[in-house]
Amino acid sequence: IVAYYNGERISIQKSRNLITENGNAILFDKKIQSVLNGSIHDNESIDNNQSMNSKQEITQVSRPIEIPIIRVEEEVEKIKMVSYTFNSDSFEEGTIERLNRIGVFNYNENDANITSSIIHTSELTPIMSFYMKGMEENEFISEEFIEYRIELGNKIPGKLANWILRSNKTVRFIVLEGVNHLIFYVNNEIEKTELRDELNELLK
């Protein structure tokens, strides 16, 4: 056993003598001792201190914690519209039939390309991506064109379907309020008028 007094090492016998002369109070720190001596006989003061401490604790607990809110400008995600192109020297009926299992494709004789209808990237599925693997993706900016929309109903007429497969028209199929529609994208009002006349003749 090693005894210390005021930071100095003392003998066991001296420590016993100090306790005998000063009592057990010598074992406490002076600051603690002064608090004990000044308050131990004052019960009312202790009660008041406890009451004040309780009030302080309640105040601290009930105070709301303010968390700074950092507002981030959310960028509106623009849905990208695309079409897919595959070079083909001739109208390959087997290829067109295979691709039309997952969408609508037509053959453009002028460019010698098989081209898909316009698709929102959000509409792409894994099976579509698998079928169109290796095809060139082309972004489509609809604002650069004029829309001409026709209502198809529940089924697309056979004549119209065959005409679309062999035409070079840029098209997109959409469903509006449960009804199928076909949108054509043309460059100007003249093309729009010519397209309307052609469709009216075709669907007689």
Which pTM was predicted? 0.51
Q: How far is CA 179 from the centre of its chain?
A: 31
Per-residue confidence (pLDDT) for residue 78, from 0 to 100: 57
Residue 46 confidence (pLDDT) above 70: no
Higher pLDDT, residue 149 or 96? 149
Alpha helices in the chain (DSSP H): 12-22, 30-39, 43-62, 93-99, 126-131, 158-166, 189-202
Per-residue confidence (pLDDT) for residue 136, from 0 to 100: 92
Question: Does residue 82 contact residue 136 with C-beta atoms inside 8 Å?
Answer: no
- Tens of pLDDT along 61-95? 445 555 454 454 544 455 688 999 988 887 777 88
Closest CA to 18 of 33, 5, 32, 2: 5
Per-residue confidence (pLDDT) for residue 191, from 0 to 100: 92
Per-residue confidence (pLDDT) for residue 29, from 0 to 100: 53
The arithmetic mean of pLDDT across residues 177-202, rounded, is: 89
Single-letter amino acid, residue 179: V
**pLDDT band with cut points at 50, 70 and 90 for residue 190:** very high
Return d(Cα 173, Cα 176) in angstroms, integer. Answer: 10
Q: Which residue has the tokens 């698998």?
A: 130
**pLDDT band with cut points at 50, 70 and 90 for residue 153:** confident
Return d(Cα 172, Cα 120) in angstroms, integer. Answer: 9
Please name the residues in contact with 95: beta carbons below 8 A apart, sequence gap of 6 or more.
Answer: 86, 88, 114
- Mean pLDDT over each residue of the chain, to the nearest integer: 75
Residues of the chain with pLDDT > 90, as a percent, come to: 14
Return d(Cα 166, Cα 113) in angstroms, integer. Answer: 11
- Tens of pLDDT along 97-150? 888 888 888 888 888 888 888 988 888 899 998 988 889 999 998 888 999 998
**pLDDT band with cut points at 50, 70 and 90 for residue 32:** very low
Per-residue confidence (pLDDT) for residue 55, from 0 to 100: 45
Per-residue confidence (pLDDT) for residue 185, from 0 to 100: 92
